[in-house]
Structures are given as C-alpha cells and as structure tokens.
Amino acid sequence: MRVEVRLYASFAEHAPTHRAGDAFYVDLEATDSLLNLISRLGIAAKDVHLSMVNGRVVYDRSQILQDKDRIGLFPPVGGG
C-alpha cells in the first residue's frame, strides 16, 4: 500500500524536499502501523507529539494504516 505523508515544523528535514507540508508518498506493507511509518521516516517516536491520519488526531500509534491514508506528523506545536 501507499500512503501520503506530510511532515511539519522541525520534522521537515526528514522530507525529500526538506520543506514543511510538501506531500510525498511512502510504500508500506499491508500490516504496517503508524509507528512503523514513523521509524521508516527516521523520526524518533518520542519526538512525535501529534499524528494525524486523514485529518483526525491519532494517539494510538499501533493503528494499522490503510492504502491512500493521508498522514501528518508534528513535534510539539502551539500558538494562538
């Protein structure tokens, strides 16, 4: 399966273009979880503060991903 990924804030350095919010695609096994994806991207799981799958915040990282899922990963962010 193939998922669509966007990395934000300081995670942008792990993206192919090194730019926050640029979409790229990752091929995964059918049994891969969110956590598997995070490690494939070279990001330390403890640094991930928020994960979004299809616009929904997901706190359970063992969630198995589906083909065409849209994933967004964030370090701690806040603002107003």
| Per CB under 8 A, 46 contacts other proteins | no
Q: Does 63 bind other proteins (CB under 8 A)?
A: no
Strand spans (E) along the chain:
2-7, 24-27, 50-53, 56-57, 70-74
CB nearer other proteins, residue 31 or residue 80: 80
Residue 76 DSSP code: S
- Using DSSP bridges, classify how beta strands 70-74 and 56-57 pair: parallel, antiparallel or unpaired: unpaired
Q: Is 78 in the site for other proteins (CB under 8 A)?
A: yes
Q: Using CB under 8 A, which of 2, 13, 16, 21 touches other proteins?
A: 21
Residue 64 lies near other proteins (rule: CB under 8 A): no
